[in-house]
Chains A and B, each alone.
Chain A
Amino acid sequence: MDILESLSVALEALRAHKLRSFLTMLGVIIGVAAVIALVSVGQTARSSVVGEFASLGPDLLWVLPGKAKEDSPFPTEEARLTLTYEDARAIEREAVFAVEVTPMLQTSVEVTGSGRKTTTTVIGTTPNLLVVRDMALQAGRFLQESDMSRRRRIVVLGPSLAQRLYRVPRNAVGRKLTINGRAFDVVGILQPEGGILGVDLDDRAYLPLTTAQQLFNINYASFLFVKAKDVESVSRAERETERILLRKHGEEDFTVLTQSQLLVSLSAILGILTIALSSIAAISLVVGGIGIMNIMLVSVTERTREIGIRKAIGARRLDILTQFLIEAVGISLVGGILGMGAGLAISWGISLRLFHSVPTIAATLPVVVLAFSFSALVGVIFGVYPAWRAANLHPIEALRYE
């Protein structure tokens, strides 16, 4: 029997049980869709997060409280607050390659402005953040040294926070913002920065560090930003910072991270996450395959007599085997195509929402090819046994089957 004939026989059999074929297919559709969606969202997450961190500037270093264990760049022990404004000033004073240091005291609180309440990230920092992070204002001014020394109750807002509270960001300058029951004057609005890891960097309120420390009754900073003199001197800035802090603290209760270290480990973490998630998705593809096997075994039993008839009039074992195998592969391939469509649609939707970008064709193509061939493989693997059973039925017994 030629392959075209086998194909049409298999398709007829599938059409004869439309609902059953579709339900069986659903297992593969869900499996393939899940694999494609998770892998391509994972890839988009990776490239967009890496891109976001890279855009912070290659000359940036982070000083985090707590000491990192050997296999992770991030502090793993209980993060004690050990970094202070004084540390920042000391590094700035003594270092040659670490030119700007900005302490960041970061906390999430409820704020009220223009009668509206919202929860936002409030950051106590110093005026040089503008230089360190390469930020720009769209209205008003940023924090100044005099704000620091006088602990002024002034605040600079990110544009999306300003918009949420005051509707038109530019008009927010001069209005009042209440934090922890204290009224603050809005003095400036920043230019939009975008988001990182799905976190909106524009949903922020910046206060003078001194004011924030008084407001929250904390003397420490959450972490420090260090800006190296230039890209070439990043590692020298790192060593300088470590040396100065070690001398001041007497122990290594902090971790200095460069941007490249951060990127490598972030990318690795996201990669592992993607692999873990898509492995779970792949399991559903296997479950789909078991569904195919199940329904094919039912189909072989139901059509025992048909198999007997076909054998009596001259079907060889291979003819029967291919007929049932094509049926199984047909289910899994059609399921694979539908699942591919669903998976791509889902991954585009998620990527657009979370990362404001769509997966590139170059990134998706291997996943699509892989998921597609995997689904065909599932059909073959789980179709072979039922087809083999059908092919090896004895013609007389098959004809006698009621």
Chain B
Amino acid sequence: MTVGRTLPAAGPLVALRDITKVYQMGRVTVPALQGVSLEIAPGQFVAIMGPSGSGKSTLMNLIGCLDRPSSGTYLLDGQDVSRLDDDELADIRNRRIGFVFQTFNLLSRYTALRNVEMPMIYATVPRAERRRRALRALEQVGLAARVQHTPQELSGGEQQRVAIARALVNEPAILLADEPTGNLDSRSGEEILAVVQDLNARGITIAVVTHDRDVAQHARRILQLRDGRLVRDEPVPQPLVARPALA
């Protein structure tokens, strides 16, 4: 299945209509999302906030096509992805979504380069082009000198930058980051936010899930969730600007 950008940049990139998600825990049904509607335009930088149990991770998983909503529709770049099967969703994740996790989630056996190449392996990109694009992505996040290092040989901030390179290497429509600075000291966290802001400045759409108000203030718009509902949606008048690392 090919997923092209069917619509010009004018429409919303993410359009959720009345999304609900219910988890079945044995006999008890737990509503995680209860009718969420929202749109994210291309080029936006959105922070999703809320206390734990508010449904922000569930929302993130749905936007990231890791899961399907119980009801409602989700248009990603104009394409309805709420009823696709597992393999079709895998394709969407591969080509349209880039993930950055709190715990980095790199494969420890592989070098930084190999980790970044991985999404392209599943996209069947030829070997030489894979290498070229992975190197370029690592260069973009400032890790050109450490491509042959394994995750254990890298600092937390460097590992997260490898993860960002991996998320970007297939040129996704949207970068989703789940507490990207949660496992980092404030210095490294600042660096990662600088990288993210830089990417956004270059036109990449970004959604960050965080419970940290400081982190959220780097975005241009904040969505507030509570008990599975969207309770606030407001722009950030003066986003904080993260200082990039001294290279």
Contacts and interface: CB of A to CB of B under 8 A. Distances in A.
A175 B151 CA distance: 86
Contacts of A312: 64, 66, 93, 99, 105
Nearest to B130: A5
A393 to B, nearest CB: 11
A316 B124 contact: no
A124 B78 CA distance: 103
B132 to A, nearest CB: 17
Interface centre among A305, A306, A311 (most CB of B within 10 A): A311
Contacts of B105: 305, 308-309, 312, 399
Interface string A314-340: 111111000000000000000000000
Contacts of B153: none
A313 interface: yes
A5 B121 contact: yes
Contact of B93 (A13, A16, A306, A314): A314
A321 B126 CA distance: 22
A401 to B, nearest CB: 11
Contact of B107 (A306, A311, A317): A306
A314 B95 contact: yes
A310 interface: yes
Given A1-B121, A1-B122, A305-B105, A311 B90 contact: yes
A360 to B, nearest CB: 46
B109 A12 contact: yes
B118 interface: yes
A396 interface: yes
Interface string B42-75: 0000000000000000000100101100000000
Nearest to B106: A309
Interface in A1-57: 1-2, 5, 12-13, 16
Contacts of B106: 309
Secondary structure call for the A interface: helix
A2 B124 contact: yes
Contact of A399 (B86, B90, B101, B119): B101
A396 B86 contact: no
B61 A396 contact: yes
Contacts of B122: 1, 310, 313-316, 319
Given A1-B122, A396-B66, A399-B105, A314 B94 contact: yes
A395 interface: yes
Interface residues of A, number: 24
A313 B99 contact: yes
Contacts of B101: 399
Interface string B70-94: 0000000000000000110011011
Nearest to A394: B67
A313 B107 contact: no
A313 B109 contact: no
Contacts of A310: 118, 122
Nearest to A391: B86
B87 A317 contact: yes
A312 B166 CA distance: 11
Interface residues of B, number: 25
B38 interface: no
B87 A314 contact: no
Interface in A291-305: 305
B123 interface: yes
Interface centre among A16, A306, A314, A316 (most CB of B within 10 A): A314
Nearest to A318: B87
B96 to A, nearest CB: 9
A380 B124 CA distance: 25
Interface string B136-171: 000000000000000000000000000000100010
A314 B98 CA distance: 10
A5 B110 CA distance: 14
Contacts of B124: 1-2
A5 B94 CA distance: 17
Contacts of B109: 12-13, 16
A312 B99 CA distance: 7
A396 B99 CA distance: 12
Contacts of A308: 105
Interface in A372-402: 394-396, 399
A283 B247 CA distance: 64
A13 B90 CA distance: 23
B137 to A, nearest CB: 13
Nearest to A313: B119
Contacts of B61: 396
B66 A315 contact: no
A306 B107 CA distance: 7
Contacts of A306: 107
A396 B124 CA distance: 24
A1 B94 CA distance: 12
Interface centre among B67, B91, B107, B123 (most CB of A within 10 A): B107
Interface in A117-142: none
17 contacts: A1-B124, A13-B109, A309-B106, A312-B99, A312-B105, A313-B99, A313-B118, A313-B122, A314-B90, A316-B90, A317-B87, A394-B67, A396-B61, A396-B67, A399-B66, A399-B101, A399-B105
Given A305-B105, A313-B99, 15 more contacts: A5-B121, A13-B109, A16-B109, A309-B105, A310-B118, A311-B93, A312-B64, A314-B94, A314-B95, A314-B122, A315-B90, A316-B90, A395-B66, A395-B67, A399-B66
Q: Give 10 closest A-B pairs by Cβ, nearest first.
A: A314-B94, A314-B122, A313-B119, A316-B87, A316-B90, A309-B105, A395-B66, A314-B93, A396-B66, A315-B122
